[in-house]
Amino acid sequence: MLELDGLTRRFGDVVALDDVSFSVPEGQLLGFVGPNGAGKTTAMRIALGVLRADAGQVRWRGRPVDLEIRRRFGYMPEERGLYPKMRVIDQLEYLARLHGLERSDARAQAARMAELLGVDDRSRDKTETLSLGNQQRVQLAAALVHRPEVLVLDEPFSGLDPVGVDVLSGVLREQAEGSVPVVFSSHQLDLVERLCESVVLIDRGRVVAAGRISELRARDPRRLVRIEVAGARDGWLDTVQGVQVLESLPEGAILELGAGVPEIRVLDAAQAAGEVRHFSVVQPSLAEIFREAVTREGR
Amino acid sequence: MSASGAGSRGVWRIIARREFVERGRDRGFAISTAITLLILVGIIVITSAVGGRTTYDLAVVGEGSRAVGEDVVAAAALLDIGVELHEVPDEQSARQALSDGAADAALVDAERIVVQSQPPAELVGLIQAASIRERSLAALTESGLTEAEVDEALNQQQLPVESVETVNARSRENATVAFVGVLALYGQLFAYGYWVAAGVVEEKASRVIEVLLATVRPSQLLRGKIFGIGLLGLGQLLLIGIVGLVTSMAVGRLEFPSGALATVGLVLFWFVLGFFFYATLFAVAGSIVTRQEDLQTTMTPLTLLIVASFFVGISATSNPSSTLATVASLLPFSSPLVMPTRIALGEATPWEVVLSIAISIGSTALLIPIATKVYSRALLQTGRVRIRQVLRQRG
């Protein structure tokens, strides 16, 4: 289990992290979610020892993480970084060796990772000559090349095309199935929802919600309805008593029902307004849970 | 599955190896090495053809010229100068030989000396002396002296020459080697110091530093970088030294190869001392900027220090015992460019040498922890970092 315990960090007067704690068991794929400046990168940098915490501790299998342990971690920083003039294969081999692999092992792993991420045909080229998407694949290969015990990836999906997203999703699932705890941050909440069982939601340096997505949903007491109506005049929803629009859709909305408001009231109003194309009771999306958690915290 | 292999202690060697291999593989490195060697070989060959000249060709034509010419050859031999006589049929062909460069001077009818333009002073002096001797001989014989009396009158002992200061051909040659050595050291300290700084900036600018710092300590990174680049610099300097020595011996410019070899050894040793001192500072200069464009500014103080030391080093080849040279040979930033020359010329006392080495090693040892501190803390900061501020803040 990877544990972040009470991490606090200030930059001048700004509190970047305020008593942040969460843990990732072996084999779990954890989404680390929050708006820009929430403290995701700071927390990940502290976990990798690139930054020091003012307070708190990071533990792996119960032991405080030091350099020797950290060498067995795999890390992909938000600001990607590779040697631009080095050949892809040499770069991967070098990084594998820095993480403690023997030369022959490092060489074999470098080739294996280049193949896994589909950049083996460019492995003899200088890294700077690759497209940004391919450089990102090399960056991920660099995080994986030494068979890490723990994976920490900062915004690994940003900048990837749909094919790249699929490749990366597959690789992350595979790693988690190989009993590696995987933490990754992302803005793409739908992607996190699809990929992860568990999430940690962070806002302004504080964890606002954490746990399995299904449990977070179950804990959310709100009743939501999704409705789509063709040919209705604008503003028909305003006439329905006791509902609140959470999200407008092209021909409808996601609504939160007030206490004691029956679903049928919405359906009746919709049928009066136009032709109903869709009507369903829905569960809150991760984005909804997050919004709710942030407002609750803000109170 | 877990990562196997060595602990992190020896990781700086892997870093050093990368620096050595990646830079050695660079095409620019191969080209600059080739150009340096070409220039060196060129200079040695050209100077040996121009400066080291001790043979002359003398064309002789007409009556009596041959006898005077033979006197010239005999007198020249005493001075270690070779003169070759070429007998030509007439003045016309003598002049032709002059303009062809086949002769340096022509003696016509033992009466006139003809040269192409600038008279070669040594040769003309020898001809004048021989001619005067020949004419005196004729005059004395004519005045009725016996052959024995004439001989006695003319074959006088040469005046002895006494040097106030002993001329040491060996140390003069060492000075030349030392001069070339200072030139090479200057170039190496500059180039390889810059590489250290540029390498540090490259890692910051490309952001690869964050990947590296997640697995190695900044001090290991610094040590690996300095050792790797330094080893490459030392190797290149060794190559320059060997090629220089071999070329010099091949064209007969080296009379004392052992002395030259020792001087090359001195230069290599002081490169190591100077490189560690400067590389540490260059690493700091690199760590406090984020872009290559800003590097020039932070390197300027170091650049000036090397250039100033270089000029003192050059002046020391002709004036090795001046106060300036003596002081500069002790200071850590200038000793690499001054001390090898003073030692090669036999002007440095043993305690000065020991003191200079001790100061150099000691100051580098003091510098490394401070530099490592600045380097470590500046690595993840962007923009221009102020050294004093970095030293004050917590990690």
To the nearest whole Å, the CA of B385 is away from the closest chain A CA by: 16
Burial class from Cβ neighbours inside 10 Å (0-12, 13-18, 19+) for residue B52 reads exposed
Q: Enumerate chain A positions whose Cβ falls within 8 A of a Cβ in B.
A: 45, 48-52, 67-68, 70-73, 75, 77, 79-86, 90, 94-95, 97-102, 105, 142, 146-149, 178
Work out the mean pLDDT of chain B and round it to a whole number: 86
- Give yes or no for a contact between A98 and B212, defined as CB atoms under 8 angstroms apart: yes
What are the angstrom distances between the C-alpha of A155 and each of A70, B55, B104, B382?
Answer: 20, 79, 82, 21
Can you give the pLDDT at residue B43? 82
Closest residue in chain A to residue B205, using alpha carbons only:
A81
Residue range B191-203: average pLDDT? 93
B8 and chain A: CB distance < 8 Å anywhere? yes
B11: nearest CB among A70, A77, A98: A98
Residue range B139-164: average pLDDT? 79
Nearest Cα neighbor of A145 from A211, A80, A196, A94 is A94
Residue range B118-133: average pLDDT? 87
Q: What is the DSSP letter of B104?
A: S
Closest residue in chain A to residue B218, using alpha carbons only:
A50
Whether residues A82 and B8 touch (CB distance < 8 A) is answered with no
- Give yes or no for a contact between B337 and B281, defined as CB atoms under 8 angstroms apart: no
Higher-scoring residue by pLDDT: A155, B256: A155
What letter represents residue A120's amino acid? D
To the nearest whole Å, the CA of B284 is away from the closest chain A CA by: 19
Can you give the pLDDT at residue B117? 85
- Give yes or no for a contact between A7 and A55, defined as CB atoms under 8 angstroms apart: yes
**Dihedral class, residue A85 (left if φ above 0, else alpha if ψ from -120 to 50, else beta):** alpha
Q: Residue B286: CB partners within 8 Å, gap ≥ 6?
A: B196, B197, B198, B199, B200, B201, B204, B295, B298
Can you give the pLDDT at residue B32? 86
Q: Is the pLDDT score of B368 beyond 50?
A: yes
Whether residues B3 and A85 touch (CB distance < 8 A) is answered with no
Instruction: Name every chain A residue with its beta carbon within 8 A of the beta carbon of B212.
Output: 98
- What span, in angstroms and rounded, lies between the C-alpha atoms of A65 and A52? 12
Q: How do residues B222-246 score in pLDDT, each as one tens digit?
A: 999 999 999 999 999 999 999 988 8
The DSSP secondary structure of B302-352, one letter per residue, reads HHHHHHHHHHHHHHHHH-TTSHHHHHHTTSTTTHHHHHHHHHHTT-S-HHH
B2: nearest CB among A72, A83, A102: A72
Can you give the pLDDT at residue B4? 40
To the nearest whole Å, the CA of A48 is away from the closest chain B CA by: 5
Q: How far apart are the first and last CA of chain A?
A: 33
Can you give the pLDDT at residue A62? 93
B3: nearest CB among A67, A75, A147: A147
Residue range B175-180: average pLDDT? 80
Read off the tokens for A87. Answer: 């050949």
To the nearest whole Å, the CA of A81 is away from the closest chain B CA by: 4
- Give yes or no for a contact between A292 and A203, defined as CB atoms under 8 angstroms apart: no
Is this model's pTM higher than 0.90 or not? no
Can you give the pLDDT at residue B150? 81
B206 and chain A: CB distance < 8 Å anywhere? yes
Instruction: Name every chain A residue with its beta carbon within 8 A of the beta carbon of B4.
Output: 100-102, 105
| 10-residue mean pLDDT series, chain A (299 residues) | 94 91 94 90 92 93 92 92 93 95 95 92 93 91 95 91 89 92 90 92 92 88 88 80 85 87 87 89 86 74
A99: nearest CB among B207, B215, B395: B215
Whether residues A147 and B2 touch (CB distance < 8 A) is answered with yes
Can you give the pLDDT at residue B3? 40
Instruction: Name every chain A residue with its beta carbon within 8 A of the beta carbon of B11.
Output: 98, 100
Nearest Cα neighbor of B176 from B107, B124, B244 is B244
Read off the tokens for B166. Answer: 């002993």
- Give yes or no for a contact between B337 and B309, defined as CB atoms under 8 angstroms apart: yes
Whether residues A77 and B15 touch (CB distance < 8 A) is answered with no
To the nearest whole Å, the CA of A83 is away from the closest chain B CA by: 6
Instruction: Name every chain A residue with its beta carbon within 8 A of the beta carbon of B6.
Output: 100, 102
Whether residues B1 and A178 touch (CB distance < 8 A) is answered with yes
Whether residues A49 and B214 touch (CB distance < 8 A) is answered with yes
- What span, in angstroms and rounded, lies between the C-alpha atoms of B194 and B192? 5
The DSSP secondary structure of B106-122, one letter per residue, reads EEETTTEEE-SSS--HH
- What span, in angstroms and rounded, lies between the C-alpha atoms of A170 and A153? 15
Q: What is the DSSP letter of A10?
A: E
Whether residues B217 and A67 touch (CB distance < 8 A) is answered with yes
Place of tokens 């070779």: B82
- Give yes or no for a contact between B48 and B251, defined as CB atoms under 8 angstroms apart: yes
Percent of chain B with pLDDT over 90: 38
